[in-house]
Amino acid sequence: MSAIRLDEPLELPCGLVLQNRLCRAAMTEAIAGRRNDPNESHMRLYGENARGGAGLILTGNAMVDRRHLERARNVVIDAATDVLAMRRWAQSAADTPTLVQLSHPGRQANRFVQPHPVAPSDGPAVPLAGFFARPRALTLAEIEEVRESFIEAGERVLTAGFAGVEVHGAHGYLLDSFLDPAHNRRTDAYGGSLENRARLLLEIVGGLRSALPPQAAIAVKLDSREGGDAELAQLSLLLEQAGADLLEISGGNYESPAMLGFNAAGAQIESEHESPFWNSAAAVSAVTAVPVMLTGGFRTRAEVDRALAGGVCEMVGVARPLAVRPALAGQFIRGEIDVLERPAPRLGGSALMKRQLGAAAGSGWHRIQLVRTAAGKPPLMGLPALAAALDYTMLDAAQALFARRSRMKLARQARRLRTLSVPLGLGDVQHARNGNGSHREEEAR
């Protein structure tokens, strides 16, 4: 196999051509207004991301059900979403193919957002600072509703003019907990064997493949699990059959935030490679024809080159360095810099404090840098880790509580509107697509 270079284009199975092998990975921006629509802040942030030079952009997780949010100010995509705001958001990133990441938080929705979170099975609450309630098992009818909400959200994303979607099947959120036998103890068609635990994810990806135009890109983010590489490889083959275009490999969840480089005790993960998920990506790449993207920990050109040249992945995802400076992507790809700096301070204090708040500090510090980019301001390098952790937890909880009643009312309206089933006009997609990414067919014309 000839070595893949970072600045080489990649054509996805759907025909979408990415100009290079670096993706700006998903980061929850949580900057929507009280109705959870995209706004001017999203447009500035994604305009900067597009100018940054990455070949692909993934948005922060957008929610498919407004009763269940990852945080208070997520974008929600349902029948009550402002269609014009979605279109303007898609246009803001028009220079670079952009996929909207679709998610349902499941048991990781905090109690201020949702005091009755849902999961594949009844189970323990996420044990973090009392922020989470015990989840209850979804009924079969509710599982069907979850599936439809992902597919309908995907249709809305394409109608708005984005190049495609990423289905979030990682990080302990709902679809990941269906895949994870530790959380899925169902005895029906959605529990037990891998085929059953993957059923909901496969129905969503297959449903999106049928509902969206063939040129729409469908990515899936998956978790590496200790000892789980063989199953992950099997799952990748099922997703290939279902029509996935890109498989992103990550890992971790709220209890054990491996995606941020920490274990459950809050200590740094020791790993032979910059990315702790290296071996899992290699295992998936070995069996599937779907391009694999490895995200998490990449900071040096040498390691990125090793991953691409060694067939570990066909694309790399980078998140935190680009939260601080989106333009680093282009500089790194052009070889002007060899290291992607990540200057965030670590949380001090006791082991308990680090375990409870370490991940919130890490994510919160970077989220505030996204907020600053969205406001047209430079990064705030001196921001203390504790202040970021409190912003990420307490401020979010207050915003969630404050808006809960009106959000639940809007959720009821959205569900009523949905039954009216307004046609989404996917005929516009080809036209919109010209603005968001290039396609083989279009180039041939």
Ligand X SMILES: Cc1cc2nc3c(=O)[nH]c(=O)nc-3n(C[C@H](O)[C@H](O)[C@H](O)COP(=O)(O)O)c2cc1C
Q: Summarize as ranges the residues that interact with ligand X (CB under 6 A).
A: 25-28, 60-61, 101, 168, 171, 221, 250, 259-260, 295-298, 318-320, 363, 366-367
Q: Please report how close the Cβ of residue 338 comes to ligand X at its closest, in angstroms.
A: 16
Q: Please report how close the Cβ of residue 25 comes to ligand X at its closest, in angstroms.
A: 4
Q: Please report how close the Cβ of residue 285 comes to ligand X at its closest, in angstroms.
A: 18
| φ, ψ (nearest 5 deg) of residue 60 | -65, 160
**Based on CB atoms, which residue is closest to ligand X, 200 or 432?**
200
Cα 52 from chain centroid (whole Å) = 19
Q: Is 275 exposed, middle or buried (0-12, 13-18, 19+ CB in 10 A)?
A: buried
* Distance in angstroms (rounded) separating the CA atoms of residues 287 and 387: 45
* Distance in angstroms (rounded) separating the CA atoms of residues 129 and 359: 12
**Based on CB atoms, which residue is closest to ligand X, 161 or 297?**
297
**Based on CB atoms, which residue is closest to ligand X, 211 or 368?**
368
**Which residues, in sequence order, are bridge partners of residue 247?**
220, 292
8 Å CB contact between 327 and 52: yes
Residue 411: count other Cβ atoms within 10 Å of its Cβ.
18
Q: Please report how close the Cβ of residue 192 comes to ligand X at its closest, in angstroms.
A: 27
**Based on CB atoms, which residue is closest to ligand X, 247 or 318?**
318
**Segments of 231-305 assigned E as strands:** 246-251, 292-295
Q: Please report how close the Cβ of residue 187 comes to ligand X at its closest, in angstroms.
A: 30
Long-range CB contacts for residues 176-180, cutoff 8 Å, separation at least 24: 176/106, 176/222, 176/223, 176/253, 177/106, 177/107, 177/119, 177/120, 178/120, 179/222, 179/223, 179/235, 180/223, 180/225
Instruction: Find the helix or strand (DSSP H, E) in which 184 lies.
Output: none
**Based on CB atoms, which residue is closest to ligand X, 19 or 295?**
295
Q: Is 103 exposed, middle or buried (0-12, 13-18, 19+ CB in 10 A)?
A: buried
For residue 71, the 8-state DSSP code is S
Q: Please report how close the Cβ of residue 276 comes to ligand X at its closest, in angstroms.
A: 10
**Based on CB atoms, which residue is closest to ligand X, 99 or 432?**
99
Q: Please report how close the Cβ of residue 352 comes to ligand X at its closest, in angstroms.
A: 22
**Based on CB atoms, which residue is closest to ligand X, 215 or 245?**
245
